[in-house]
Structures are given as structure tokens and as C-alpha cells.
């Protein structure tokens, strides 16, 4: 399910040309974890656990997964950008 957003479409499409670069694999992994974390937030909201969801987004697992994904993009970029 991590191939439906714009970033996922790029990762699983055009960016596959970088699949031989270890940073690409890390990005795939972190992006997948980001989506798993987002799904948990949605489940929390659906269960009425709004404060728990807010905490997760503001400084919890979702926040951390977002930062790891951003950092993985940056690391890949430094390896493949001219």
C-alpha cells in the first residue's frame, strides 16, 4: 500500500533506477514504516483515541517515521544527485 501516494509512486517507479544503491533500500523501508505508522494513527482516530493520535503525530511514532523518511530521501539524494 506504500505505492499509492506520490512519493511511493516515485519510489516504486522512476527511482527504481537507484535500486542498486543501499540508500534506496533504506528509503523503501522507511517509507513503508511511515505508512504503517499512518495506518495506526487512522485506527486511533477511528477508535476515538484523539489525544493518543495527536501525540503520535506531534512527537511519537508517526513523527519519528516521518523524520526517518525525510532523512532517507536526503541520503539517497546525496548519493545519486550530480
- Residue 30 is assigned to a structural domain of this protein: yes
Residue 1 in this model has a pLDDT that exceeds 80: no
Q: How much of the chain, in percent, has pLDDT values that exceed 70?
A: 100
pLDDT tens for each residue of 26-45: 999 999 999 999 999 999 99
Q: Whose CA is closest to 53, among 61, 44, 62?
A: 44
**Structural domain containing residue 62:** 20-80
Residue 61 in this model has a pLDDT that exceeds 80: yes
Q: What is the pLDDT of residue 7?
A: 96
Instruction: Give residues with Cβ within 8 angstroms of 12, minimum separation 6.
Output: 2, 3
- Residue 65 is assigned to a structural domain of this protein: yes
What's the chain's length in residues? 82
- Residue 9 is assigned to a structural domain of this protein: no
| Model confidence, pTM | 0.92
Residue 5 in this model has a pLDDT that exceeds 80: yes
Instruction: Give residues with Cβ within 8 angstroms of 5, minimum separation 6.
Output: 35
Amino acid at each position: 500500500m506504500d505505492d499509492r501516494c506520490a512519493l511511493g509512486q516515485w519510489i516504486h517507479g522512476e527511482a527504481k533506477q537507484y535500486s542498486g544503491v543501499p540508500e534506496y533500500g533504506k528509503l523503501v523501508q522507511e517509507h513503508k514504516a511511515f505508512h504503517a505508522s499512518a495506518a495506526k494513527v487512522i485506527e486511533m482516530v477511528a477508535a476515538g483515541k484523539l489525544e493518543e493520535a495527536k501525540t503520535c503525530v506531534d512527537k511519537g511514532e508517526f513523527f519519528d517515521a516521518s523524520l526517518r523518511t525525510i532523512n532517507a530521501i536526503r541520503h539517497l539524494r546525496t548519493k545519486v544527485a550530480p
